[in-house]
Amino acid sequence: MSDLMETVLIERTRALIPDDKVEQKRMFGSTCFMINGNMTVCVSRRGLMARVGTGQQADALAKPFASVCQIGDRLMPGFIRVAAEGIENDDDLKSWIDMARSYAASLPPKAAKPKKPNPGKAAT
């Protein structure tokens, strides 16, 4: 997926998550969408990563172009990677977003982490 296609996917994803409580944040070299501090979906050049939880994992894996996310040799249960072909139209993308939002809404809100002080700036 090219940079332009990634940018378009970020815009499409943002349009399908109209909730004011959604935060867009750079993580994992990707753009993630968070609800109450919990990661919901992440857009990258590889496609979409959806956090659906282990309870919905079997249903998610039954969809075309879906696989369990893997970092190195480690599988990430509850996190599904969807290849670009699986999210070409907005209905498919929305179904992944809705599944991930459902899971994220079931989680308790995360407290905001305090910002780390910048050691390069002197206190005034």
pLDDT, residue 122, reads: 58
From 1-5, 62-66, 104-108, the region with the lowest mean pLDDT = 1-5
pLDDT band at residue 6, thresholds of 50, 70 and 90?
confident
At 75-92, the pLDDT tens digits run 999 999 999 999 999 999
pLDDT, residue 2, reads: 75
pTM for the full predicted model: 0.83
pLDDT, residue 73, reads: 92
CATH 3.40.640.10 fits 3-105, yes or no: no
At 7-49, the pLDDT tens digits run 899 999 999 987 777 889 998 788 999 998 999 999 988 889 9
At 92-123, the pLDDT tens digits run 999 999 999 999 989 998 877 776 776 766 55
Q: How many CB atoms lie within 10 A of CB 113?
A: 7
Domain ranges of the chain: 3-105
Angle (nearest 5°) at CA 102 between 97 and 103:
100
